[in-house]
């Protein structure tokens, strides 16, 4: 199924574990842990002792981290 440009990341589950998000972004789980400790990164949930990230929160964070095209 082709990605719809209006709904990026729809291939992601509604909730992602720390491991899933780290793998998706190709960063370490420790980076996500440091971001949480610093109050940075996407919003997250702690449910039953597990840290989860909402797909829409991930999408919002990605969009907020976006830069325009090439610099002059």
Ordered by start, the domain boundaries in the chain are 15-64
Contacts of residue 6, Cβ cutoff 8 Å, sequence gap at least 6: none
Q: How far is CA 64 from CA 50, 51, 55, 58, 68, in A?
A: 25, 22, 14, 10, 11
Number of residues that this document lists for the chain: 72
Give the domain 15-64 fold. Molybdopterin biosynthesis moea protein, domain 2 (3.90.105)
Digit-by-digit pLDDT tens for the chain (72 residues) are 344 444 554 689 999 999 999 999 999 999 999 999 999 999 999 999 999 999 999 999 999 999 988 766
């Amino acid at each position: 199924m082709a990605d719809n440009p209006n709904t990026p990341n729809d291939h992601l589950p509604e909730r992602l574990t720390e491991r899933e998000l780290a793998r998706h972004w190709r960063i370490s789980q420790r980076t996500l842990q440091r971001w949480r400790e610093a109050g940075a990164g996407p919003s997250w949930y702690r449910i039953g002792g597990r840290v989860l990230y909402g797909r829409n929160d991930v999408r919002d964070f990605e969009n907020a981290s976006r830069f325009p095209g090439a610099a002059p």
